[in-house]
Amino acid sequence: MNTSALENYILKTADDLLVLGHRHSEWTAFGPVIEEDIAFCSMAQDKVGQAQALYNVLHTTFGYDHPDTLAFLREEGKYTCAQLVELPNGGYDTSLMRHFLFDHAERVRLASLVSCPFEPLANLAKKFKGEVEYHVLHANTWIDQLGNGTEVSKARMQTALDELAPYALGLFEAIEGEQELVEQGVVVSEQDLQAQWQAAIDPILEKAGLAAPDWSSITPVVGGRKGYHSEYLAPLVKEMSEVLVIDTEVEW
Amino acid sequence: MVTEQEIWTALDSVMDPEIPKLSVVDLGMVSSISIDESGAAEVEVTPTFAGCPAIDFIKRSIRDAVVELGVESVTVNVNFDRQWNSNMISEKGRALIKDWGLAPPPVHDGYISLDVLQNVACPHCDSRNTTMQTPFGPTLCRSIHYCNNCSQAFEQFKPVTSG
C-alpha cells in the first residue's frame, strides 16, 4: 500500500471537515431562524468531531502530531482542504448550496471508504455515514423548498449554484499517488466519485427547478489538495488557532 | 478478584450526562469488558457521535466506577472499532428515554428517511399526529418535533445508522 498517499487522503478528508465545520459554526447566533442556527451548529460539531477522529488515526497509526496541533498549528500551505470549504459563508443561500454540494460529495466518499482495507478508516466511514445522512436530508429539504419557493429564492439558489460549481468540482482534485491507491483497491478514484456525486445531485437540482450546470464544461478550481489556497484560508486558520497560539500548553 | 459481570453492573450506574437516567450500558456505548490474569481491567467504549463533547467526561466516569470496585489497573479505550447506532439502545434504555420526556428512537433497518422522522409518537400523549420541526436539536442526538394532539413541542432521541 502507498502509505504516504493514504495519509494524504486521510489528511485532506479531515481538513475539508475541519474548515467547513468552522465555517458552519460561524452561523451560531446568526441563523435566519433558530432551527437553522441549531442545524448549522450541530453539523459544525459533527464535522469537527469527524475531523478530530481522522486526525487521531494519523496521530496514533502514522505518528503525526496530536490532533489539536494538526488542526490548529500548521502553516496555511500545509492544509490540503479544497478551496470550496474556505470561502466565506456569504448569504444563507450560498451556505446552503455549499452544504448541499459538499455533503453529497462526502456521502459518496464515505460510502466508498466503508470497504477500505485500511480498517481504521473503514470504521470511521461506517460511523460518519449515519451522521452525514442527516446533513444530506437537511440540505435536500432546503434546496427543494427554496428552488421551488419564490422567484427571488429560486434566482438566489441558482446564482449560488453557478458560483460554487467550479469550486465544488475542486473537491475531486486527485492527490499524488491516488492512481496507486485505486489500483490497490484502497480508495475509489476521484473521477468515479465525481460521477456518483453528479448522479446524486442532478435529479435533486432538477426537481427543485434549478438548472444543473454542464459539469464537463466547467473548469474546476483546484490547488487545495497541493496546499494552494484562496485568500480566505489564512485569516480563517489564524482565527481558529487564536487561543492555542497564545498558550500552546493551555488546558481546556 | 472482580468479575466482568461486576464491572458491567457497576457501569450500569454510569449515566450519560445529557440524559442522567440513562446508563452508558443501556445506551449501548460499552463494547466489551475484559480482565487479564493480573486483575487489570480493560473497557472498550464507542461514542454515540464522532463529535460527542461528553466523551472525555464519560471516559473518566467509567474509569472511576471501575476503580471504586477495587480494580487497580483500569484502561478505558475509546474507539470506533464497533460503530454505535441507535438500535444498540436496550429496551430498558428506550423506556428510560421516554420516562425522561423524550421520544425514543424507532428501531431502524439501516436506512433513515424523512418519513421515518415524521409522525413520531409523542412521549407525553402517545399520539402520532406529530410533525418534525427540525432534524437537529439541543444536543447532537436529538431532533425537535411538535405534537398536534396535545400542542406540546417535544424532542426525540433520533434514530442513527452505522455500517
Residues in chain B closer than 8 A to A39 (CB atoms): 134-136
Distance from A154 to chain B by nearest Cα, in Å? Answer: 22
Kindly provide the residue ranges of all beta strands, DSSP E only, lying in chain B, ordered along the sequence. 15-16, 19-23, 30-35, 41-45, 74-78, 102-103, 130-134, 142-147, 152-157
Domains of chain B by residue range: 4-84, 101-157
Decide: helix, strand or coil at residue B152: strand
Quick one: pLDDT at residue B78? 95
Pairing of strands B15-16, B130-134: unpaired
Instruction: Among B29, B46, B136, B140, pick the best mutation site for testing chain A contact (most A Cβ within 10 A).
Output: B136
* Alpha-carbon distances of A153 from A107, A141, A144, A184, rounded to whole Å: 26, 14, 11, 46
Average pLDDT, chain B: 95
Which residue matches cell numbers 473518566? B60
Q: Which residues of B touch A128 (CB under 8 A)?
A: 50
Residue of A38, A126, A138 with shortest CB distance to B162: A126
Residue (of B11, B25, B4, B21) closest to B84 by Cα position: B25
- Whether B119 has its CB under 8 Å from any CB of chain A: the answer is no
> If we measure between CA atoms, which residue out of B34, B48, B27 comes closest to residue B3?
B34
Contact B51 A52 (CB under 8 A): yes
B162 shares contact with chain A (CB less than 8 Å): yes
Q: How close is the nearest chain A Cα to the Cα of B139, in Å?
A: 8
The span from the first CA to the last CA of chain B, in angstroms, equals 37
CB A19 within 8 A of CB A190: no
Instruction: With beta carbons under 8 A apart, name residues in chain B contacting A137.
Output: 112-114, 117, 135
Domains of chain A: 3-246 (1.20.1260.10)
Count the neighbouring beta carbons within 10 Å of the beta carbon of residue B41.
22
Kindly list the residues from chain A whose CB atom is less than 8 angstroms away from the CB atom of residue B135: 39, 134, 137-138
**Cβ contacts (< 8 Å) between B162 and chain A: which residues?**
126-127, 129-130
Does A59 reach chain B within 8 Å, measured CB to CB? Answer: no
Reported as a single tens digit per residue, the pLDDT across A174-192 is: 999 999 999 999 999 999 9
A213-235, pLDDT tens digit by residue? 999 999 999 999 999 999 999 99
Asked if B136's CB is within 8 angstroms of A45's CB, the reply is no
Check pLDDT > 80 for residue B160: yes
Chains A and B form CB pairs within 8 A to the count of: 82
Residue of A nearest to B140 (CA): A42
Instruction: Report the percent of chain A where pLDDT is more than 90.
Output: 96
Task: Report yes or no: B57 at the A interface, CB cutoff 8 Å.
Answer: no
Residues B68-112: tens digit of each pLDDT: 999 999 999 999 999 999 999 999 999 999 999 999 999 999 888
A48 and B51 within 8 Å at the Cβ level: the answer is yes
Task: Indicate yes or no: CB of B144 within 8 angstroms of CB of A42.
Answer: no
Show which of residues 9-38 on chain A sit within 8 Å of chain B, judged by CB atoms: 35-36, 38
CA A193 to CA A179: how far, in whole Å?
A: 14
Q: Is B153 on the interface with A (CB under 8 A)?
A: no
What is the assigned CATH class of domain B4-84?
alpha beta
Taking contacts as CB-CB distances below 8 angstroms, the residues of chain A near B85 are 130
Per residue in A206-218, pLDDT (tens digit) is 999 999 999 999 9
Calculate mean pLDDT across residues B41-70: 96
* Mean pLDDT across chain A: 96
Q: What is the pLDDT of residue A248?
A: 82
Using the predicted structure, report yes or no on whether residue A250 has a pLDDT greater than 80: no
